[in-house]
Structure 1
Amino acid sequence: MKTPPPDGHAAWPSVMARAYLGFTLRTTKWTITGDRRAVPVLIQAEPLETKGAIVAFWHRSLLLLPALWTWAQQRQTGLRLRVMISRNRDGRLINDAVAPWGIIGIEGSSAKKGKDKGGARALREACSALRDGSILAITPDGPRGPVGVVQPGALGLTRLAKRPLIPIGAACTALHLPSWDRMMVPLPFGRGELVYGAPLDAHTSTDHLTRALNQTSAQAARRYKLSRVTFTDRVWHLVGILLTPVLPIILQKRLEQGREIKGRISERYGRTTLDRPDGDLFWLHAASVGECRSVLPLIDALREIHPKLNFLVTTATVTGAEIIATYRTSLPSAQAAQLRHQFIPYDVARWNQRFLRHWQPNALVLIDSELWPGLIGACFRKAIPVGVVNGRLSARSWRRWKRLPASFRMLFARLDFVAARGHRDAEHFSELGVSEVHEYGDLKEIAPPPAADPQEVEYLRQQIGNRPIFLAASTHPGEEEIVARAAALAREAVPDLLMIVAPRHPTRSDAVAEILQHPPRRSKDETPQAEDLFWLADTLGEMGLFYRLAQGAFIGNSMNAPGGGHNPFEPVRLKTPIVTGPRTDNFSPAFESLGDTVAIVKDDRDLADWMIGTFQHNDKAQQQAETACKRISKNEAVPASLLTRISDMLL
């Protein structure tokens, strides 16, 4: 029971402590997170086999208990909290200080020098409170220490009451009293982190409880350190403010170019017309076409494990949105209702906050290299775990990040995990500060090939006839000239050659058309005639069509510096022979896995020779394409270890 102070004078310290603690906890910005298995126990949610639970934290964190209790009561009214306190003046002072939050103390300590300190009575009262469904808070190393050493009574109570125990770690902006445990006294207008661990049962050992408390305390301290607003955060926030007047102009230009959808511009500002679904929501961000295709098998696999899970997929491009929309229409109505698409807002602090406030995702997974400092920081401060799947960080990008000050690299420390594509990517992420890095391979290997309308494929084959067709896919500035020269050289040996040129960004189509001397254009529904050497494929979302028409393909962004390459798995899945330039750093693990099944050319003459050889020795080229397809066909499913790690995020 709460013991009143012995006289009026003694009440003043409690009143002052109570006022200070209330003001400080209200002005502190708290983040409370941890293992989601603990939440039903902490808030005594239905269904639980038995009511009542124990929360344990080191004695130095005792004054932070009201923050956790306020969080729990906001989620479940009617909770009752009791706290074990020592039977002395300090214990009574703390008891009176926390009483306004409905926290009732149970006084008692172990006997000292044969003097009864009320320990046996306190134990009986604690067990009774637990059986009545109360939450009981204990400090396993209190009231006299040693610091961080679990005393026998804590686990004795757990075994006697047969109730689960939740370890709690805490860190905040605080000063430390000159006491035996340097108790934390929170300071006003600061930040605080509380981390709850997985529930422990009555058979927990002393060592296990000690490790659990140290682990949650370390997690809280790490989160507190990483949640501070750095110089880089301020710079990025300022950049967002300065760009805010410019971004609508950029959006209008993108809209005119067909790169935005008129009715959905508001999504770029974090607004939406869609409701958040009830239940858990898993957010995946896949920037464009390749990332969207690689994320579809992941969604399918997660749905098998978590059939009630809702998915939010954001993209940066219209073509990515179209892939998600097509995928959604292929699902049964119940599953389609669990999938929503939005365009990712620009990385402006106010717009990120608006987006997160509405959607409240349980976790976020970024695909490939979509690392936005503002977004990751906003998620971290809201305790939304962020992982990266298919993590890609080229040597060039890694060197750039290494040259930046340490505060810029805090972005990587805020990531919960990275599933890297390959060994070199994993090393790069680790060296930049990611605490947990795995190598789960490249999801693009198991992604379905780009789709195409079979009737359209057949129609174009009839229009083009039996001409040999070569595709220059995803070309970048400077490569169309190389492709044009190579086509002219190859045409000397292959007179009826047709070269399809598909620039990576169709907005460049006018410039590319000038280079190719104004060929027929797909965007104008023009088909090539017998005399045409080139056909400009300047539409979005039709690469599956062009790959199916071609007998060979060049993968762009690989000839000129800096290059980087593009995903080769799409044509490989369609068994199209492929060739690339030497600059493929961004996709080096993919090209290494394909080995000698992919040819590498250095200039227009090399490319022309490869084209001629492909058409003259088509059987050999097709055999290499079959071999390439077999190499990636070994990996047909999302790795089980990756699914487990993502499920841990959702927990």
Structure 2
Amino acid sequence: MNRISLKRAAGRSLLVLARFYVDLTIRTTRWTITGAPESFPSLLQTSERLADGCITAAWHRTLLMLPAMCRWAHHQKPDLPITVMISRNRDGRFISDLIAPWNIASIEGSSDRNGKNKGGSRALREACTALKNGAIFMITPDGPRGPAETVQAGTETLMRLTGKPLVPIGAACTGFTLPSWDRLRVPLPFGRGYLLYGAPCTYPMTGDEIAAKLKTLSARAESSLALGRATLADRLWKALGTALLPALRAMSLIRLRRGKERLDRLPERRGRTGLARPQGTILWLHAASVGETHSILPLIAALAERHPTHYFLITTATTSGADIIAAYQRQAGPLASRLIHQFIPYDVPLWTKRFLDHWRPSALLLTDSELWPGIILACTRRAIPVGVLNGRLSARSWQRWQKMKRFAPPLFKRLAFVAARGAEDARHFAALGVRDVVCFGDLKQNAPPPSVDQGELAALRAQIGNRPVFLAASTHEGEDEIVLRAAALARRTLPDLLTIIAPRHPVRAEQIATLATPSPPRRSLGQKPSDADPVWIADTLGELGLFYRLADCALIGNSLLPSGGGHNPFEPVRLDVVLATGPYHGNFRPAFEKLGGFVTAIKGEQDLAEWIGAVVDNPTTWQAKARQAQAAIASQEAVPAALLDRIDALCA
């Protein structure tokens, strides 16, 4: 056998081995193939759009991963024509032979350089013909010789000549990198891989703009690959959630009896839903309860105006949060059809998977301190970016996380960005490893005031008459005794004072009623305060806006005892309510600092009683103070444009 025959035999053997290896890695790799809903799924499933053809682009270093995309595409549509451009040289012919088993046609040619004909013109004509015939045409815009991650002029030319959209693809996989000009990534068997396709790009679009989109998608794929690995803490969290399944089901029934769940919607806690997923991009926003839900309403309106085809999946943890979304939908006009509410599933792997399989959101935005490790890991593994709005980490929470830092999962590193509510929170998130921390202020500052039933408000005002009203809002266990003693002291000079106690958790109403003599009327039982009643227990959900509007002055609860942390003061400030807080409001310190001295700090029952008397005796002075507090949080920009831009980048 002569030397030429030996070379040919060696070449054939190498080709067979390379095909075997590529096939092995493609079949054994756990691929996540996902991206913009308006991209490949519609292209592959709608024959009319398929006939139009499209261009796909990925960096040259991901070349060995593209057969996985082709295999997936052919699984969706077996007769789909796929064509790839390769170099007109020995390496290009080898690649052409290598990918042939995956039904990928090839066109030889690359950009002509220095007067040397590399078949670029002929290849461009053939590419135009293939696209005209409805092919998916795959290119590596920085090939065949680089520079790496620099889009060559041929890509723009192809888009201009054909008018076809370009779909950028970011790829990453478990493997090793060769020391070549492009840092070619070679997949390893039995690993994980990501292929993320972006929204179609249309001409005119510059090479730099295309490169930016490819870099964004590639970085997201690499991040999902690196941060999607389950740590020991992740496995323990998963095992705990699975073990607690029976307990969580039982807890749902207990919450149902207490009025904290709704029977027809209990399946949503397990990731089930009776709603169909709409076609298109879905942005998922999660708000725990009333304050968080109110805070994201202006943001949703601003995002809906920017993206008139997007849908917004809003999850809440409480029924009162659900009621706020329902009320907002009733007055949202055409936007209502793009708002979807669900109760967030418990952070159990099976239920989270079921939820994500159905809704397939493009991104998740958590609010405040709602950080669920299992949900964040599940999103990371699906290349769903997770951001945090109005990020809040009190000094106490930060210290706890600091102590667990070595043992906790890389929760904070998995967050794409955190928009912290203040500088202190931003420092805490950065110290815990969040890669991108920004500060656009507190969203709750610009949230609309809580809604109210005007008819009910008028009826209660008529019932109460001219009596001075003091509200203890969102009280926690142990505070009601202090409030009742302070109210008794205040009634020595204000005998007709009505004290309304609105507990944070209405289930405590019966316990609170035993503390007062005579037993106070309760809102949940349909009872109203008579002239002889010094106390009224407002034990209903979602009506705090009503009680604030009835009050001459109000104390923000969860602030009188060391175990407290305060509550959001911005809601009552927007209603011109004269406010006081106890000394323990550290969870909302930035908000109270912004309000300066316009919220009175009281230390105990004697201080509280004296303050109530001062407000009632001199309402004009104190109302002026309330208006100053409202002016202190006035903002010309309800939702910062920079925050909207950051969210747009998250969903790109």
TM-score by length of 2: 0.88
Distance 1:56 1:636, change over 3 A: closer
* Structure 1 contact 573–629 (Cα < 8 Å) conserved: yes
CA distance in 2, matches of 1:558, 1:428: 22
Contact 1:422 / 1:441 at 8 angstroms: preserved in 2?
Answer: yes
Aligned counterpart in structure 2 of residue 158 of structure 1, from 155, 160, 177: 155
Match of 2:142 in 1: 140
Partner of 1:374: 374
- Relative to structure 1, is the Cα distance of residues 254 and 235 closer, same or farther in structure 2, using a 3 angstrom cutoff? same
Aligned match of 1:283: 284
Deviations 1:211-239 (A, max 9, x none): 77666554433332111111221111111
CA offsets 1:485-531 (integer angstroms, 9 cap, x no match): 11121111212211111110001112211223432211122222333
Given the superposition, is the C-alpha separation of residues 141 and 599 from structure 1 closer, same or farther in structure 2, using an over 3 Å criterion? same
Q: Against the structure 1 CA distance between its residues 476 and 110, is the aligned structure 2 distance closer, same or farther, given a 3 Å change threshold? A: closer
* 2:590 is equivalent to residue 589 of structure 1: yes
Moved more, 11-20 or 227-236: 11-20
The residue type paired with residue 451 of structure 2 is: A
Residues 41 and 53, structure 1, Cα contact 8 Å, conserved in 2: no
Secondary structure of the residue aligned to 1:413 is coil
Aligned to 1:260: 261
SS in 2 for 1:221: helix
Q: Distance in 2 between matches of 1:215 and 1:609?
A: 59
The amino acid across from 1:155 in the alignment is Q
Map 1:273-352 → 2, pairs under 5 A: 273-332=274-333, 334-352=334-352
The residue that corresponds to 2:462 in the other structure is 462
Q: CA deviation at 1:192?
A: 1.3
SS at 2:280 equivalent? coil
1:216–1:646 Cα change, 3 Å: closer
Equivalent position SS for 2:283: strand
Residues 85, 95 of structure 1: 8 Å contact kept = no
Q: Give the corresponding residue for 1:80.
A: 82
Q: Report if the CA contact (8 A) 1:564-1:585 is conserved.
A: yes
Structure 2: distance between partners of 1:307 and 1:108: 42
The secondary structure found in structure 2 opposite 1:390 is: strand
Q: Residue 230 in 1 paired to residue 222 in 2?
A: no
Q: 2:57 aligns with which of 43, 52, 55?
A: 55
1:382-417 deviation line (CA, Å, top 9, x unaligned): 222222212211121122212223563522222222
Shift of 1:419: 1.8
State whether residues 52 and 130 of structure 1, in contact with CA within 8 Å, keep that contact through their aligned partners in structure 2: no
The answer for the alignment partner of 2:565 in structure 1 is 564
Corresponding residue SS for 1:132: helix
Q: Within the alignment, does 1:128 sit opposite 2:126 as a pair?
A: yes
The alignment of Structure 1 onto Structure 2 pairs a total of residues equal to: 635
Q: Which residue does the alignment assign to 1:513?
A: 513
Letter paired with 1:620: T
Q: CA deviation at 1:472?
A: 0.3
Distance 1:193 1:602, change over 3 A: same
Where do residues 493-572 of structure 1 align in structure 2 (5 Å cutoff)?
A: 493-517=493-517, 518-572=519-573
Letter in 2 for 1:132: A
Q: CA deviation at 1:624?
A: 0.8
The one-letter code matched in structure 2 to 1:509 is A
Counterpart-to-counterpart distance in 2, 1:394 and 1:475? 20
Partner of 1:602: helix, strand, or coil?
A: coil
Counterpart code for 2:265: R
Other-structure match for 1:397: 397
Aligned to 2:3: none
Q: Note the C-alpha offset of 1:551.
A: 0.4
| AA matched with 1:609 | E
**Using a 3 Å threshold, how does the CA distance of structure 1 residues 216 and 253 change in structure 2: closer, same or farther?**
closer
How many Å separate the matches in 1 of 2:407 and 2:75?
Answer: 35
Residues 131 and 407 (structure 1), Cα distance of their counterparts in 2 relative to 1, 3 Å cut: farther
Q: 1:43 to 1:269 in 2, by over 3 A?
A: closer
| CA deviation map 1:551-574 (0-9, x unaligned) | 000000111123111111121111
1:42 deviates by: 9.4
The amino acid of 2:410's aligned partner reads M
* Structure 1 stretch displaced more, 11-20 or 243-252: 11-20
Distance 1:621 1:410 in 2: 48
- Are the equivalent residues in 1 in contact too, given 2:418–2:436 (CA < 8 A)? yes
User: Quick one: structure 1 residues 181 and 42, their matched pair in 2 at CA, closer, same or farther if it must change by over 3 Å?
Assistant: farther
Q: Which one-letter code corresponds to 1:296 in the other structure?
A: L
Q: How much identity, in percent, do the aligned residues show?
A: 50
Aligned CA distance change for structure 1 residues 73 and 385 (closer, same or farther; 3 Å): farther
Question: Alpha carbons of 1:109 and 1:538: their partners in 2 closer, same or farther (altered >3 Å)?
Answer: closer
Mapped contact 1:158–1:202 kept (Cα < 8 A):
no
Mapped to 2, the partners of 1:176 and 1:18 lie a distance apart of 19
CA–CA distance in structure 2, aligned partners of residues 531 and 203 of structure 1: 75
Q: Please give the alpha-carbon distance, in whole angstroms, between the structure 2 residues aligned to 1:409 and 1:110.
A: 47
One-letter amino acid matched to 1:81: T
1:293 and 1:623 mapped to 2: Cα distance? Answer: 26
The secondary structure found in structure 1 opposite 2:118 is helix
Letter in 1 for 2:126: S
- Tell me if structure 1 keeps the 8 A contact 2:445–2:570: yes
Aligned to 1:489: 489
Q: Is the 8 A contact 2:255 2:261 kept in 1?
A: yes
Q: Which one-letter code corresponds to 1:465 in the other structure?
A: G
Instruction: Supply the AA of the counterpart residue of 1:271.
Output: R
Contact 2:231 2:409 in 1 (8 A): no
Show the counterpart of 1:357: 357
Summarize the Cα distance change of 1:214–1:500 in structure 2 as closer, same or farther, 3 Å threshold.
closer
Q: Secondary structure at the match of 1:411?
A: coil
State the shift of 1:336 in Å.
2.5
Mapped to 2, the partners of 1:531 and 1:299 lie a distance apart of 46
What is the alpha-carbon distance in structure 2 between the residues aligned to residue 231 and residue 613 of structure 1? 58
The one-letter code matched in structure 2 to 1:594 is L
Match of 1:247 in 2: 248
Deviation at 1:464, TM superposition (A): 2.3
SS of the aligned residue for 1:547 comes to: helix
Question: Is the CA contact 1:106–1:122 (under 8 Å) kept in the aligned structure 2?
Answer: no
**Contact 1:158/1:165 (CA < 8 Å) preserved in 2?**
no
Is the 8 Å Cα contact of residues 233 and 409 (structure 2) preserved in structure 1?
Answer: no
Deviation (angstroms), 1:203: 8.4
The separation in 2 between residues aligned to 1:428 and 1:263, in whole angstroms, is 40
Distance 1:311 1:285, change over 3 A: same
- Which deviations, in whole Å up to 9, do the C-alpha atoms of 1:254-289 show, x marking residues without a partner? 111111111111110001111112222222111111
Residues in 1 aligned to 2:591 and 2:182: alpha-carbon distance in whole angstroms:
54
Change (3 A) 1:17 1:265: same
SS in 2 for 1:477: coil
Return the offset for 1:159. 5.8
Judge which range, 482-491 or 8-17, deviates more.
8-17
605-614 or 60-69: bigger deviation = 60-69
2:110/2:123 contact within 8 Å kept: no
Residue type at the aligned position of 1:637 = A
Q: d(CA) in 1 for partners of 2:50 and 2:229?
A: 37
Q: Alignment RMSD, CA only?
A: 3.4
Per-residue deviation at 1:178? Answer: 7.4
Aligned 8 A contact 1:473 1:502 in 2: yes
Following superposition, the deviation at residue 458 of structure 1 comes to: 2.2
Q: What secondary structure is seen at the aligned counterpart in 2 of 1:232?
A: helix
Cα 1:92–1:44 change in 2 (3 A) is: farther
Q: 1:601 to 1:158 in 2, by over 3 A?
A: same
Retained in 2: the 8 A contact 1:85–1:105? no
Contact 1:520 1:526 in 2 (8 A): yes
SS of the residue corresponding to residue 554 of structure 2 reads strand
Is the alpha carbon distance of 1:202 and 1:562 closer, same or farther for their aligned partners in structure 2, counting shifts above 3 Å?
same
Q: Following TM superposition, by how much is the alpha carbon of 1:50 offset from its aligned partner in structure 2, in angstroms? A: 9.1
Structure 2 unaligned regions, length at least 5: 1-5
The answer to whether the Cα contact below 8 Å between 2:44 and 2:50 also exists between their aligned partners in 1 is no
